Structures are given as structure tokens and as C-alpha cells.
Chains A and B, each alone.
Chain A
Amino acid sequence: DIQMTQSPSSLSASVGDRVTITCRASQSIINYVNWYQQRPGKAPKLLIYSASSLQSGVPSRFSGSGSGTDFTLTISTLQPEDFATYSCQQSYSTPLTFGGGTKVEI
């Protein structure tokens, strides 16, 4: 199985900050990474697919980059509604696997 390791596991930030979350795959997965946002008690919401494609309806302050084994999710200007947990997911091979999540706290 491909392991997805996220860092940090949690971070504290303020409204207006630029936030970067990293996801590292245990082997090269080219660009087969998707990113999700999950608010407490809610289902995950797709933000980014194929490493850098913005899902329709998602604000442009969210962006993704990377290839091979290292990927990043960036929130350019943190908004109050962005405080949540973010998870990466590899879609290179089955079983599909997720990172452990990064909790963005105030």
C-alpha cells in the first residue's frame, strides 16, 4: 500500500495568514493526489484533484502543487471558514489511501 504522510499534523494560524500543508507519498505517484477539507462532524469536501486542479466552486485561495512524492496544499489568505482538517488522498493505485490529516486551528 502507498503511505501518505502529512505534515504538520496540526497548526495554529490567524485569519489572513498563508498556510501550507505538505503530503509525502511512500513512492512516486506522479500527480495522482486529491485534497479534501473536513469540518467537525461533516463529510469531507473535495478541494483539489490531480494535484493542482481546483474543484468547481472552491475558492481560488486554495491551490495545490507538486509531483512525484511531494505535494502541497496552500491557502493563500486564511478565512474564518477555513479552520478545518485537511486530508490528501492518493489515486495512483489501489487500495486508495489517505493521509492522516492536518488540523488547522485558530
Chain B
Amino acid sequence: QVQLQESGPGLVKPSQTLSLTCTVSGGSISRSGTYYWSWIRQPAGKGLEWIGRIYTSGNIDYNPSLKSRVTISLDMSKNQFSLKVSSVTAADTAVYYCARAHFTSDRFDPWGQGTLVTVSS
């Protein structure tokens, strides 16, 4: 059974870069077949926002609202994928989730437990 776990600093200063890693266990990212890997975030008390996705082919899609500041990458040797958000502000404070998604329906399952990242000086 595939499981995902986010890790990274819980506090980031304004204007700096937020960096998170998602470690996949119970299955190989490189042999994920009909799946891709995604990041989603949720500010406190608000709805979910899709950040972007990466395929094992290397193709990447970003949410245009964040595209200029976001980088998603894959490290198949470590069975991990990562997120970087540059020039962060308080508006980037949120719980960040990583998730696996199915090609054909873009359904997210499973999700990581989520990690709270606070942007504050």
C-alpha cells in the first residue's frame, strides 16, 4: 500500500524559499505506471489549491497562479519528489500536501498527512 510523507521546515521567513520533500513508500515512483505526483495546499480555514504535478516522464504542469515561483522535481533514486516556492509571503502560509493522482481521472489518492508551513519573520 503506497504511503506518502511530507517533510521540511515548518517556518520560513518572508522572501525566502520554501522547500518540501515527499517520500513515497510501499511502491516505486519509477514504476508508477498510470499515476503522477502532485502538490496541493490549504490555507487555514480555506479550500484546497492545486500547486502542480510531475510525471515520471519528467513532464511538469504548474498552476499559472504560482508558476513563476514554483519548482517541482523528482528523485527516483530516493523515491521522492520535491516542491520549492520562492519569494514567499504570508499568503503562502498553509498546510502543504503531497498526493498521487491517477492519469485518467486526476483523482488524488493517497495523500500525505500534510505539513504546516508558516511564513513569518
Contacts and interface: CB of A to CB of B under 8 A. Distances in A.
Interface of A: 32, 34, 36, 42-46, 49-50, 53, 55, 87, 89, 91, 94-101
Interface of B: 46-50, 61, 63-65, 97, 102, 105-109, 111-114
Contact of B47 (A42, A87, A91, A94): A87
**Most A Cβ at <10 Å: residue of B50, B61, B106:** B106
A49 B107 contact: yes
Instruction: Specify which of B49, B64, B108, B112 lies most central, judged by the most chain A CB atoms within 10 Å of its CB.
Output: B108
Nearest to B98: A43
A31 B61 CA distance: 22
Contacts of B65: 95
B62 to A, nearest CB: 8
Interface centre among A32, A45, A91 (most CB of B within 10 A): A91
Instruction: Identify which of A45, A91, A96 gathers the most chain B CB atoms within 10 Å of its CB.
Output: A96
B48 A89 contact: yes
A67 B33 CA distance: 28
A91 B107 contact: yes
Contacts of A49: 102, 105, 107
Given A43-B111, A95-B64, A95-B65, A34 B50 contact: no
